[in-house]
Amino acid sequence: MLALYKREILSFLSSLIGYIVIGVFLIITGLFLWVFPLDFNVLEFGYANIDGLFMLAPFVFLFLIPALTMKSFAEEKRTGTIELLLTKPLTDWQIVLAKFLAYWTLLFVALLPTLFYFYTVYHLGYPKGNIDQGGMWGSYIGLFMLGGVFVSIGILMSSLTDSQIVAFILSVFMCLIMYLGFEFIYSLDFFGKSSLFVKSLGISHHYSSISRGVVDSRDVIYFFSVITISLMLARLSLQGRKW
């Protein structure tokens, strides 16, 4: 499992697409936070925080993470290497988990440079250090967990097809539904007293909660539950090739 984990990371770092994905994420967030005169702009906003990053990043992740994970299994199926992989002394669960952890690690690496934004705002604040660090670290945890959910969904969609394009489209669609879909439908009269429960099924509800700086166990359980369910379904998809 460790060998597969390392292989996935090295494969990412040895390809141009990996650096493009990380570069695009940093360029987009950098432009919106420091250059474009919009609500996300730190200098225009006038307060020492990087809330714009945590509002913008989920929407960037909606496209970048599917672009990152679309080849996780689809490419293996297209080239036929999935058959070789399944003959290795690894269980289906270990294969899925190794790929998930590899892509989640790469997401962590992509987030590390954004700490420079925090460093900059920390020194720009008046007085120096006048920034809500609790809320910021909570937002980082929430963003990392949200990214983990997107990665697990991307791997699931990639396991269902041998086309990277199809895997990308399905991943974007499912991530969008999970992130914003429940926010749009929970207020419908149809749900009545169950509206709050319906809202809690969406990622946005738990991401907003944890971004306030309070790491609630209910939010953590939700994120890990969605990740686990997605990976279990990906495992079932792999097992289906043996039937």
Picking from 58-67, 144-153, 204-213, which range would have the lowest pLDDT averaged per residue? 204-213
- Average pLDDT value for residue range 80-104: 85
pLDDT (tens digit per residue) in 98-111: 999 999 999 999 89
Peptide bond into 58 cis (omega under 30): no
Q: Name the amino acid, one letter, at 218.
A: R
Q: Strand, coil or helix: what is 111?
A: helix
Q: Is the pLDDT of residue 72 over 90?
A: no
List the domain range (segments joined by +) for residue 206.
Answer: 2-242
Domain count, the chain: 1
Contact 38, 32 (CB under 8 A): yes
pLDDT value at position 144? 94
Contact call for residues 149 and 220 (beta carbons, < 8 A):
no
pTM: 0.90
The 10s digit of each residue's pLDDT in 147-204 is 999 999 999 999 998 899 999 999 999 999 999 888 877 777 666 777 888 888 899 8
